[in-house]
Structure 1
Amino acid sequence: MSDYDFDLFVIGAGSGGVRAGRLAAQLGKRVGVAEESLPGGTCVVRGCVPKKFMVYGADYGASIKEAASYGWTVGEVSFDWPTLRDAIQKEVSRLSGIYSTILEKNGATLFRERAEFIDANTIRLCESGKTFTAEKILIAVGGTPWAPGIKGAEHAIVSDHAFTLDKLPERVLIIGGGYIACEFAGIYAGMGVKTTQVYRGGRLLNGFDSEVRDQVGEVQLNNGIDLKFNISPTEIKPTKGGYIVTFDDGSKIGTDVVFMATGRKPNTATLGLEHAGVEVEDSGAIKVDALSKTTADNIYAVGDVTNRVNLTPVAIREAAAFIETAFKDNPVAYDHDNIASAVFTRPPVGTVGLSEGQARQKFGEDMTVYTTKFRPMKNTLSGSPQKVFMKLITQGKDEVVVGIHLVGDDSGEIIQALGICVKAGLTKADFDATCAVHPTIAEEIVTLKPREPNKTTIVS
């Protein structure tokens, strides 16, 4: 028995923290876990899970409208926000309880309060004042929404608040062009809210493939979202029944709710990292090596707090690699290349591997781009203007597939399987040799033709 209270203390009970805590406890290690909010972290409590339920809710509205084209007679229809909101929160509570049970059933001790460092081996629980020592400590506290400090910023909501609004507004102004902003704009528009999305740049989804960015702009417009580019807010002023937001070009927009979806930052400000010798980047992200070790030998960090690849499944894989490294004498560095991901716009985006811009930077002209854009079968009867876009990027004489990008129905589902193909290093010939499943959207990925030379897009 060591002189420490715990073999491992985990700060944060999100997906990464819970996975690490459970695996360590199953090895017979004494594990403590501190969580200041509900177990489950951002994904379960105020992120992926409740957001996806809201996307489903918005999609039902569109499906009802389109049902008449397929012979269905639909009577009077209305949407009740409290019904969906409360059902989502009930499910969130259930899932959070499962996370708690996972830890406790495996022998970990869960402390429902915030923790901070006293030194590299000592943790203090901030509410009770209790202190504990641990041989190893894992930081898995995730990220938190960030908003610019403009005048009146206190009147805006962020994504944490979006799931529990007392009532659905008639008008919403979403400020931001990233995936959170785009997703919530689609959600609110689908629920019948007059939605305006404002972004300081010229195209949405900075960092994504250039053509995907263009397609998502079309998606938002088709969903009735009023898009405004190249302006930034300077002031939010309350008025009777709402707010007036002023922008740097002098324009003003009236709204009932201002939603700041301007990014997230690592949640490190109150951890007391300076007392433990843990260094951070200028962004607040914890510096880690390939094995997720911080600048303190016994302290590790996984998930969004490290700002590597900020996705829930990545945090889980990093946590499993940490257990191998720290407790099984088997150093494992998780491979962050070719991770598939989705953006749940309506319809969604699916992407894996390199964008065209990244591929051109890496390979020059030693690459081939395949694209297609078409109206999916479902939309031919409904009259929906939404189209499907597909892009496949290959490299070299052997045409190894290095990037795939989709915008269209079920892209999030399709990209999971395609991610396996890219990770495995398959070639265009492998795709061509695969028989299509007809009639489906996905079949088009095995029938793609090279993009015409004069159709090359501006790459960003």
Structure 2
Amino acid sequence: MKNIVIGSGPAGRLGSLELGKLGEDVTLIEKNHIAGTCLNEGCMVVCALTDITKFIDENNRFNKHGFLKSQIEISYEKIVEKITETQQMLRKLNQMENESVGNNVIYGEAKIEDGEVIVNNESFEWDNLMIATGARPFIPDVKGKEFGLTNKDILKLDDVPEKLNIIGGGIIACEIANIYSTLGSEVNVLARSTFLKELAPETKRYVLEKLMPDVNIMENTNVSEVFKDKVLTTDNQELEGIPFFATGRTPNSEIAEGFVELNPDKTIKVNEMMQTNVDNVYAAGDVTGGYQLTPVARKEGITAARNMAKYANKISYDCIPQTLSLNTEVSFVKNEKLDLDDDEKSTIAIPGIAGPGAFWKILEGNTGYTEIDFDGKNNKIAKINSISPSSTSDIAYLSYLMRMDYDLDDYGEFLEVHPSTDTNYKIIKNLWL
């Protein structure tokens, strides 16, 4: 059967790869660059820049301790050049990976007209169709919005901004603030309501006081107008600095309008098998809304692909781990199956330990923090917020145990690899013993 996948971000790329591995005939269509927002404009760019800020952070710490004396001179131009080179290499590898299973990768903007997929004036027949066109930055209707930057513009900057006004209060706003603050910018974050509402209060406090002390956070602050070099708030504060919008995402669903059913927010409506309301038409990734996360998009793409190949598969969104890429990672997960009242849950707060990447932070009391809510009656983990250099792997592992519905007694045989999973050891043993 002929399968067409429109969009080669995490959902489309992994969905195409899965279909190819299953022996299906696949055409993958991409408008710009393979691998989508993640590699080209999003999380991979953030991670690349954060690798540099971690190095700067460590260098400053070692200088402070007195056993290393060095000066760092930053070339933002060279950083962008090397990120771009790496992206080009990864694009080639991603294309080769898809082609290695027999998939046809073509470039051009796809359209759906009268049920046909048209690319570069050529019509393609299909038996199954997956729409995985992703999302783009949402920019609110604010006067002067054309002057605002987004994550799409990070690699277009000539240099580190002297002053930066980040509009938004979520994960992207936090990560961008950390990057440019560490690189030397004077950074304001203007959150319409609460900053980092995804985090537990004490975890958020640690982030603000220990990880981002030089960033000025302004909660419950609305913007009335933006200019090329300043922002005006509704309470008439004038803040100098380049405006940067981190105000969410909007789906690239225009291709599907009038073809499949959309939700009120213009995302494509799908069921747990990633099926739309049209037979043999599927959608996956950010264009369907929900969790705007690369691992979730991958899982959705693979789920759609398996169903397209007639291997029945459903997706579940329980216990999704998330992270903030900062100079020390902040990760969190919630077990949605456990909706506990205050009198049903117990909370344990654990200071960070000298695990991987934390030894030289002991002298300044900045080794991390972990907070766990658990259901003592049923012996289950309900929620974890963790700050440590290993929190991304720790929380990914623990979220799996939560998703598989293990109780605390089942953790008793966990044996850590010292020092890489010491944080796991401490979390589990504090709960289990």
Q: 1:419 to 1:217 in 2, by over 3 A?
A: same
- Counterpart CA distance in 2 for 1:132 and 1:374 is 56
Corresponding residue for residue 346 of structure 1: 327
- Counterpart CA distance in 1 for 2:361 and 2:117 is 60
Match of 2:189 among 183, 193, 197: 197
Q: Secondary structure at the match of 1:79?
A: coil
Corresponding residue for residue 401 of structure 2: 421
Give the superposition deviation at 1:28. 3.6
Corresponding residue for residue 257 of structure 2: 273
Compare 159-168 and 439-448 and name the one that shifted more.
439-448
Match of 2:225 among 217, 232, 235: 235
Match of 1:137 among 106, 129, 141: 129
- Counterpart CA distance in 2 for 1:281 and 1:380 is 47
Q: Which runs of 5+ in 1 are unaligned?
A: 1-5, 451-460
TM-score (norm: length of structure 2)? 0.91
Q: Is 1:365 aligned to residue 365 of structure 2?
A: no
Q: Is 1:206 aligned to residue 197 of structure 2?
A: yes
Alpha carbons 1:379, 1:386 under 8 Å: kept: no
- Counterpart CA distance in 2 for 1:111 and 1:436 is 46
- Counterpart CA distance in 2 for 1:331 and 1:425 is 23
Write the deviation string for residues 142-197 of structure 1: whole angstroms up to 9, x where unpaired. 11100112111111110111133122111111111111000010011111111111
What amino acid maps onto 1:393 in structure 2? D
Give the superposition deviation at 1:73. 2.9
Q: Secondary structure at the match of 1:262?
A: coil
Compare 211-220 and 288-297 and name the one that shifted more.
211-220
Give the superposition deviation at 1:70. 4.9
Q: Secondary structure at the match of 1:305?
A: helix
Q: 1:154 to 1:193 in 2, by over 3 A?
A: same
Q: Secondary structure at the match of 2:343?
A: coil
Corresponding residue for residue 388 of structure 1: 368
- Counterpart CA distance in 1 for 2:402 and 2:268 is 30
Corresponding residue for residue 307 of structure 1: 289
Corresponding residue for residue 141 of structure 2: 149
Compare 47-56 and 160-169 and name the one that shifted more.
160-169
Q: Is 1:92 aligned to residue 77 of structure 2?
A: no
Write the deviation string for residues 404-425 of structure 1: whole angstroms up to 9, x where unpaired. 2212332112212222222232
Q: Secondary structure at the match of 1:134?
A: coil
Corresponding residue for residue 456 of structure 1: none
Q: Is 1:403 aligned to residue 383 of structure 2?
A: yes
Q: 1:105 to 1:405 in 2, by over 3 A?
A: same
Write the deviation string for residues 212-240 of structure 1: whole angstroms up to 9, x where unpaired. 33333334542x111111111111134xx
Give the superposition deviation at 1:317. 1.8
What amino acid maps onto 1:367 in structure 2? K
Match of 1:78 among 73, 76, 82: 73
- Counterpart CA distance in 1 for 2:250 and 2:150 is 13
Write the deviation string for residues 286-318 of structure 1: whole angstroms up to 9, x where unpaired. 100110000111110111111122221222222
Q: 1:267 to 1:17 in 2, by over 3 A?
A: same
- Counterpart CA distance in 2 for 1:90 and 1:259 is 25
Match of 2:243 among 246, 253, 258: 258
Alignment RMSD: 2.4
Alpha carbons 1:69, 1:381 under 8 Å: kept: no
Q: Secondary structure at the match of 1:448?
A: helix
Q: 1:197 to 1:219 in 2, by over 3 A?
A: farther
Q: Is 1:218 aligned to residue 204 of structure 2?
A: no
- Counterpart CA distance in 1 for 2:289 and 2:209 is 30
Corresponding residue for residue 158 of structure 1: 150
- Counterpart CA distance in 1 for 2:362 and 2:312 is 55
Identity of aligned residues (%): 23
Q: 1:219 to 1:285 in 2, by over 3 A?
A: farther
Give the superposition deviation at 1:374. 5.0
TM-score (norm: length of structure 1)? 0.86
Compare 421-430 and 110-119 and name the one that shifted more.
421-430
Give the superposition deviation at 1:436. 7.0
What amino acid maps onto 1:369 in structure 2? T
Q: Is 1:15 aligned to residue 15 of structure 2?
A: no
Give the superposition deviation at 1:136. 1.0
Corresponding residue for residue 3 of structure 1: none
Alpha carbons 2:18, 2:306 under 8 Å: kept: no
Q: Is 1:169 aligned to residue 149 of structure 2?
A: no
Corresponding residue for residue 104 of structure 2: 109
- Counterpart CA distance in 2 for 1:395 and 1:175 is 37
Q: Secondary structure at the match of 1:137?
A: strand
Alpha carbons 1:375, 1:386 under 8 Å: kept: no
Q: 1:428 to 1:414 in 2, by over 3 A?
A: same
Instruction: Name the count of aligned residue pairs.
Output: 427
Q: 1:69 to 1:151 in 2, by over 3 A?
A: closer
Q: Which runs of 5+ in 2 are unaligned?
A: none
What amino acid maps onto 2:205 in structure 1? D
Alpha carbons 1:199, 1:228 under 8 Å: kept: yes
After superposition, residues 48-59 of structure 1 pair within 5 angstroms as 48-59=43-54
Q: Is 1:45 aligned to residue 40 of structure 2?
A: yes
- Counterpart CA distance in 2 for 1:447 and 1:326 is 44
Match of 1:245 among 231, 240, 261: 231
Q: Secondary structure at the match of 2:430?
A: coil
Q: 1:108 to 1:436 in 2, by over 3 A?
A: closer
Q: 1:194 to 1:26 in 2, by over 3 A?
A: same
Alpha carbons 1:285, 1:307 under 8 Å: kept: yes
Corresponding residue for residue 273 of structure 2: 291
Q: 1:119 to 1:395 in 2, by over 3 A?
A: farther
What amino acid maps onto 1:227 in structure 2? I
Alpha carbons 1:118, 1:272 under 8 Å: kept: no
Corresponding residue for residue 453 of structure 1: none
Give the superposition deviation at 1:330. 2.7
- Counterpart CA distance in 1 for 2:431 and 2:26 is 54
Q: 1:432 to 1:198 in 2, by over 3 A?
A: farther
What amino acid maps onto 1:235 in structure 2? E
Give the superposition deviation at 1:435. 6.5
